[in-house]
Chains A and B, each alone.
Chain A
Amino acid sequence: MAKRLLRIFGPLILAAILVFAVLAMPVNVGFRHVSAEKEKQAAVSLSPNVLRGKHIKQEALKDGYVPFFGSSEWSRFDPMHPSVLAQKYKRNYRPFLLGARGSQSLTQYFVMQNIQGELRNKKAVFVISPQWFVKDGTRKDAFGFYYSQLQTAEWLTHFRTDAIDRYAANRLLQMPAAQSDHFIYAALQRVADGKQLTNYQRFYLQTRKNMLTQEDQFFSGIDLPSRNLSRVNQQAKQLPTHYSYSALDQLGGRLGREATGDNPFRISDKFYKQGLQKEIKMGSLKGFQKNLSYTKSPEFADFQLCLDQFSRLNTNVLFIIPPINSRWQKYTGLSETMLRQFDQKIHYQLQSQGFNNIVDLSDKGDVPYFMTDTIHLGWRGWLAVDQRVNPFLSKSQSKPHYAMNDKFYSKTWQQLAPDDLTQYEQETK
């Protein structure tokens, strides 16, 4: 009987041991190489798997790709999109688009955790969407969608016991996604309390991290969506052979005119007709953003996490603040004053800590064909971005000098009324 049982279960047990051994191995075997074509595809794929993973990102960033952190604007591919321009004019950098609809500062902070080596002393681009800074900050379901155990486990193996990481742990504990692994959850509680991890927790996290890293290496390259890459190639064909700002500006105007038709917001007709038109006719959107404010939000503290991470890694970052289509803004009643105040508040947070590379486009909401839809850059908007991104990335920049301040994690800062900004500056100097 024993012999027969061994014949039945022997292979099964052996297979289980082998699988566990391969996954838990601390050294990486095989599958290291990511082809140039795959990197190209991943850089514009906007795939959540790429965002959550590590290997592909890491390899691409080593090969001259630059991280472009942001959210939904990346999916607006037209000929002036940064990825298209960089490819067509053979720039010495290629954008690696990180983020998609719903990804905000907290997600980006954890995305940075397993590409630290590739961010250190390098450059990056970061688009700050004013829409992130709503009353409740990042949506729990959106955060959960992009949540990566791999990134959390990696962060937990190198966190520091300071205000920054304590805040991050506390914030993560508020998210249902953190409960997807009981051990990680318990470890986060210790970090939030300012304690060190236990030996067992360290061992578990190390093993878990190895397993997830192997999994990521084996599987994250499978089935990368290729639709966006073909879009980029398609859009690149419309561009003139040689770069000329005036030619591109004209082309942007022409393409914008062709795409927008005569809808009331002068935005892409395709976007307008997808649902917006119906609601406009019903009048349900008129004035609906009257009471919306982007000036008090936990997002300010989440954003500080990203800044601190950049400072720790000495990353030189170009920040972009996109405008809001001004016709749309007026129609929905979104307050002009509030938007200006948001701009002041975010500027203060950036500049007071030494982040001075800011492309503030917030006053360009009424430039024709600047926005492809209500809140997303397009045509001339992308071109304006390129005017700053290209020199920033192509030429060498002086070293940044950051002076970080933990006060930006405080509830006071998160909820600070914009009118009190000057006073706050004075008091906290």
Chain B
Amino acid sequence: MLSFEPYGNPTYFALLGVALLPLMIGLLYGKRSRLYETLISVFFLLLTFGGPKWTQGVALIIYILYEVALTWGYAVYRRQKNSGPIFYLMVILAIIPLTIVKVTPAVDHGQASLIGFLGVSYLTFRAVQTMMETRDGTLKNYSLMTFLQFMLFFPTISSGPIDRYRRFEKDYRSVPSREKYLGMIQKGVRYIFVGFLYKFILAYYFGTMLMPKLAIMAMHSRGGFLDLSWPVLGYMYAYSADLFFDFAGYSLFAVGTSYIMGIETPMNFNQPWKSPNIKDFWNRWHITLSFWFRDFIYMRLVFWFMKHRVFKKPTTTANVTYIINMLIMGFWHGVTWYYITYGLFHGVALVVNDAWLRYKKKHRASIPHNGFTQAFAIFLTANMVCFSFLIFSGFLDKIWFTK
């Protein structure tokens, strides 16, 4: 049995091209075949989760049944009643599998959990979001089949982008006009090719060729202040570049493939390295994740805090929520000191950033604003971000705590 990483090698792309061709012809002639879409979804899911990785496949099936039961059950319940505790209980139940997967390595000597599979976090985000919108009453016509298609949409199953149920449904239930669809194909093909450049050339250069060398050099130059050295700095930049090109490349493949399937999956990156501040950075980096956190954690927490007047000042509310929000994001990456520190770092950065923006607003006249300050702001933000990625990489853990 063949088995592939999604978008991992030329054969995968060749298969993808062949599988998408009939679908493309159909869409060009105004037809969307549910049956065919389901068939190729199953085929590509088998490629990813079958063969030697069949245990992951089993975990995926059980997980999907579980989440379907929860969201469907809640949608039915919500039509009659709307109790707070039931809603919280359902959300907790929905994130239990993810929590187990994330905590297991931390308590079980790095052993991966048996119920884990590639993409479990992204599916959880989609399920929880569906539930929250059902609670708000904005999602009224929950359909089991659409939810299944939404969860198992193969181009984005392993690592996002995280679409929203209502947005997905709108695309999925309609066929774009020929003119519009041709535009989507054009974009899709371009995205996939930029993805090749990102993932197979640039990420390969930074990640496979440069990083290991810098890692060895950095390990050899330990002994100075905090075991830091110039190669550590080089590693920081190489790692950041690799992280960006690898993930942005993957995201371009996922979005490009979606477009060719007539689904406008949202973009995940929007030139993050030209952000003038950290807040703007999170509007440009891993956008669907940070917007998910914004809409379903940050805004809801702020809403709750303000409604119950937990804090006197709105700024305190904002600051506390920033920290909580980013800490949760840190924990989500995994229960290790470096992921959590990374979350905390970004929480604090957002607090400081907000304070600065307020200060700047008040003293607008006396603070210069020109090309140079703008360039400086971009430089500073990019370096702060790279530093946070050095924490995130776990390389400091290796430098400090391995023999």
**Chain A residues in the interface with B (C-beta under 8 A):** 1, 4-5, 7-9, 12, 223
Interface assignment of B380: CB less than 8 Å from any CB of chain A:
no
**Chain B residues in the interface with A (C-beta under 8 A):** 28, 178, 182, 185-186, 189, 193, 209
A8 contacts across to B, CB distance below 8 A: 182, 185-186, 189
Docked pose: A235 CA to B300 CA in angstroms: 66
A7 contacts across to B, CB distance below 8 A: 186
Docked pose: A4 CA to B185 CA in angstroms: 10
Chain A residue, CB-CB nearest to B192: A12
* A4 lies within 8 A of B182 (CB): yes
* B209 lies within 8 A of A223 (CB): yes
| Residue of B182, B189, B209 touching A1 (CB-CB under 8 A) | B182
Chain B residue, CB-CB nearest to A222: B209
Docked pose: A7 CA to B185 CA in angstroms: 11
* From A4, A7, A9, residue with most partner B Cβ within 10 Å: A4
* B189 lies within 8 A of A9 (CB): yes
16 contacts between A and B (CB under 8 A): A1-B28, A1-B178, A1-B182, A4-B182, A4-B186, A5-B182, A5-B185, A7-B186, A8-B182, A8-B185, A8-B186, A8-B189, A9-B189, A12-B189, A12-B193, A223-B209
Docked pose: A1 CA to B189 CA in angstroms: 16
Docked pose: A223 CA to B206 CA in angstroms: 12
Least CB distance, B122 to chain A, in whole angstroms: 29
Least CB distance, A308 to chain B, in whole angstroms: 37
B178 contacts across to A, CB distance below 8 A: 1
Docked pose: A280 CA to B189 CA in angstroms: 61
Docked pose: A12 CA to B186 CA in angstroms: 11
Least CB distance, B150 to chain A, in whole angstroms: 28
Least CB distance, B310 to chain A, in whole angstroms: 54
Chain A residue, CB-CB nearest to B24: A5
B185 contacts across to A, CB distance below 8 A: 5, 8
Docked pose: A12 CA to B178 CA in angstroms: 21
Chain A residue, CB-CB nearest to B183: A4
Chain A residue, CB-CB nearest to B210: A223
Docked pose: A35 CA to B182 CA in angstroms: 49
Docked pose: A9 CA to B189 CA in angstroms: 8
Least CB distance, A24 to chain B, in whole angstroms: 15
Chain B residue, CB-CB nearest to A226: B213
Least CB distance, B29 to chain A, in whole angstroms: 10
Chain B residue, CB-CB nearest to A225: B213
Chain B residue, CB-CB nearest to A4: B182
B186 contacts across to A, CB distance below 8 A: 4, 7-8
Least CB distance, A330 to chain B, in whole angstroms: 30
Docked pose: A5 CA to B28 CA in angstroms: 11
Docked pose: A5 CA to B178 CA in angstroms: 11
Docked pose: A5 CA to B184 CA in angstroms: 12
Docked pose: A5 CA to B186 CA in angstroms: 8
Docked pose: A8 CA to B185 CA in angstroms: 8
A5 contacts across to B, CB distance below 8 A: 182, 185
A9 contacts across to B, CB distance below 8 A: 189
If A8-B186, A12-B189, A12-B193 are given as contacts, then 11 extra A-B residue pairs at C-beta distance below 8 Å, sorted by A number, are: A1-B28, A1-B178, A1-B182, A4-B186, A5-B182, A7-B186, A8-B182, A8-B185, A8-B189, A9-B189, A223-B209
Chain A residue, CB-CB nearest to B182: A4
Docked pose: A158 CA to B269 CA in angstroms: 52
B193 contacts across to A, CB distance below 8 A: 12
Least CB distance, B200 to chain A, in whole angstroms: 13
B189 contacts across to A, CB distance below 8 A: 8-9, 12
Docked pose: A9 CA to B192 CA in angstroms: 12
Q: Closest 10 interchain pairs by CB? A: A8-B186, A4-B182, A223-B209, A8-B189, A8-B185, A12-B189, A1-B178, A1-B28, A1-B182, A9-B189
Least CB distance, B19 to chain A, in whole angstroms: 16
A12 contacts across to B, CB distance below 8 A: 189, 193
Chain B residue, CB-CB nearest to A223: B209
B28 contacts across to A, CB distance below 8 A: 1
Docked pose: A10 CA to B230 CA in angstroms: 47
B209 contacts across to A, CB distance below 8 A: 223
Least CB distance, A219 to chain B, in whole angstroms: 11
A4 contacts across to B, CB distance below 8 A: 182, 186
Docked pose: A12 CA to B17 CA in angstroms: 12
Least CB distance, B382 to chain A, in whole angstroms: 27
Docked pose: A4 CA to B189 CA in angstroms: 13
Docked pose: A5 CA to B193 CA in angstroms: 16
Chain B residue, CB-CB nearest to A8: B186
Chain A residue, CB-CB nearest to B188: A8
Docked pose: A7 CA to B186 CA in angstroms: 9
Chain A residue, CB-CB nearest to B190: A8
Chain A residue, CB-CB nearest to B205: A223
Least CB distance, B256 to chain A, in whole angstroms: 12
Least CB distance, A67 to chain B, in whole angstroms: 27
Docked pose: A231 CA to B294 CA in angstroms: 54
Docked pose: A85 CA to B325 CA in angstroms: 63
A1 contacts across to B, CB distance below 8 A: 28, 178, 182
Docked pose: A180 CA to B28 CA in angstroms: 39
Least CB distance, B204 to chain A, in whole angstroms: 10
Docked pose: A358 CA to B355 CA in angstroms: 79
Docked pose: A72 CA to B209 CA in angstroms: 24
B182 contacts across to A, CB distance below 8 A: 1, 4-5, 8
Docked pose: A1 CA to B185 CA in angstroms: 12
Chain A residue, CB-CB nearest to B193: A12
Chain A residue, CB-CB nearest to B208: A223
Chain A residue, CB-CB nearest to B178: A1
Docked pose: A245 CA to B209 CA in angstroms: 42
Chain B residue, CB-CB nearest to A7: B186
Docked pose: A184 CA to B75 CA in angstroms: 55
Docked pose: A56 CA to B88 CA in angstroms: 65
Chain A residue, CB-CB nearest to B14: A16
Least CB distance, A401 to chain B, in whole angstroms: 48
Docked pose: A8 CA to B17 CA in angstroms: 14
Docked pose: A223 CA to B182 CA in angstroms: 41
Chain B residue, CB-CB nearest to A15: B193
Chain A residue, CB-CB nearest to B28: A1
Docked pose: A223 CA to B189 CA in angstroms: 31
Least CB distance, A11 to chain B, in whole angstroms: 9
Docked pose: A5 CA to B209 CA in angstroms: 37
Least CB distance, A141 to chain B, in whole angstroms: 16
Docked pose: A9 CA to B21 CA in angstroms: 12
Docked pose: A12 CA to B189 CA in angstroms: 9
Least CB distance, B286 to chain A, in whole angstroms: 29
A223 contacts across to B, CB distance below 8 A: 209
Chain B residue, CB-CB nearest to A12: B189
